Copies of this chain bind each other. A is one copy, B any other.
Amino acid sequence: MSENRTEIADLGEFGLIKRVTKTFELNNKSSVLGIGDDAAVIRSEQKTQVVSTDLLVEGVHFDLAYVPLQHLGFKAVAVNVSDVAAMNAIPKQITVSIALSNRFSVEAVEALYAGIKSACAEYKVDLIGGDTSASNAGLVVSITIIGEVGEQDLVRRKGCSKGDIVCATGDFGAAYLGLQVLAREKEVYKTNPDMQPKLEEYQYLIERQLKPKARMDIVHELKERAIVPTSMIDVSDGLGSEVLHLEEENGHGLVVYEDKIPYEKETYETAVEFGVDPITCAMNGGEDYELLFTINQKDHDALKNVADISFIGYVGEANAKSKLVTRGGNVVEIEAQGWNHLKK
């Protein structure tokens, strides 16, 4: 944080909004009017739009002891973009509302919005509106995103059939382990503030936790190859939880092979270091923001050489439970143990 500290109270709500959003521009053709009226105005280029919203709450979704505000701003946008990607749609506009207490300075809010701006640039999204409020407790960030999609390209969770191939992008388990590393180093620091946190060797994991990327690249890859998945979901709560969502929506169990689930080497090594099975991190870890989708078998060849897409299983029988085939050849039922902030 900067050495300068401007109190939010000196600017007021309107002044704060003006200051932190003044460098944002509208770049999408469909963004007609942004911040500054009773509502924003959009004129969509596609008839079909998708809308999603996410709420991030301090102390629940993030700990400012190790999450820089700029990263938080980026991540808050990226997780929303990820929901749009999961519909095979193109993100276009966001609104950002924040509630914050007076322990935040104007410079802190500027850092948050710098991250938001960086994500807007990365994903070609326009900030068109929002609200700002005081808060008696911590920081709350609420983002709503609007995306566009051709009617024929829209992909839902529901739609796959028996025999479809189950695909996953990227790798799994890293974000969860990144969080474990950050939490451990925070404890070390609390015990002995003179200790330097050991973070260098965990860079990949930490970046996956602090600054996840939404897989818009995959949406574009699919479009270029004229492939429309039969079902799709983004992996925010762990691969296991998302497999079960697809099962529930489609009434078919999915069969997933443990040895096909992609990890990074660092994920594997750190899992071992923490004494957990890497497969547990992948299945139950969460926050990977990868895409899990199914394709018709005829589309296999067109995707087989795309870097970062793995074929991890297939859609099984109707009314069957989803199963994991372990490296040892055992077949175990997949159970939901994903993130659930509200569950005890």
**Could you tell me which A residues sit within 8 Å of B by CB distance?**
7-14, 16, 32-33, 36-44, 47-61, 83-84, 86-87, 89, 93, 95, 97-99, 128-138, 140, 142, 144-147, 151, 154, 156-158, 232-234, 249, 340-344
Instruction: Give Cα A60–Cα B102 distance, bound, in whole angstroms.
Output: 13
Contact of A133 among B52, B60, B136 (CB under 8 A): B60
A218 to chain B, nearest CB (A): 14
Instruction: Give Cα A48–Cα B45 distance, bound, in whole angstroms.
Output: 10
A139 to chain B, nearest CB (A): 11
Q: If A16-B342, A38-B234, A137-B138 touch, does A128 touch B51 (CB 8 Å cutoff)?
A: yes
Q: A36-B249, A38-B232, A97-B142 are in contact. List 14 more A-B contacts (CB 8 A).
A: A11-B342, A36-B157, A37-B156, A39-B50, A43-B47, A44-B44, A51-B93, A51-B144, A53-B130, A54-B97, A57-B99, A58-B136, A135-B140, A144-B144
Q: If A55-B142, A342-B9, A342-B12 touch, does A49 touch B38 (CB 8 Å cutoff)?
A: no
Selected A-B contacts with CB under 8 Å, 17 pairs:
A32-B48, A36-B157, A37-B157, A37-B158, A38-B52, A41-B154, A43-B49, A44-B44, A51-B95, A53-B144, A57-B99, A57-B133, A60-B133, A131-B142, A135-B140, A136-B137, A146-B146
Q: Which residues of B contact A343 (CB under 8 A)?
A: 9, 11-13
Closest B residue to A80 by beta carbon equals: B39
Q: Which residues of B contact A129 (CB under 8 A)?
A: 51-53
Q: Which residues of B contact A43 (CB under 8 A)?
A: 47-49, 151
Q: Which residues of B contact A33 (CB under 8 A)?
A: 156
- A39/B83 in contact, CB under 8 A: yes
Q: Which residues of B contact A11 (CB under 8 A)?
A: 342-343
- A341/B133 in contact, CB under 8 A: yes
A64 to chain B, nearest CB (A): 13
- A87/B156 in contact, CB under 8 A: no
Q: If A39-B89, A140-B99 touch, does A135 touch B50 (CB 8 Å cutoff)?
A: no
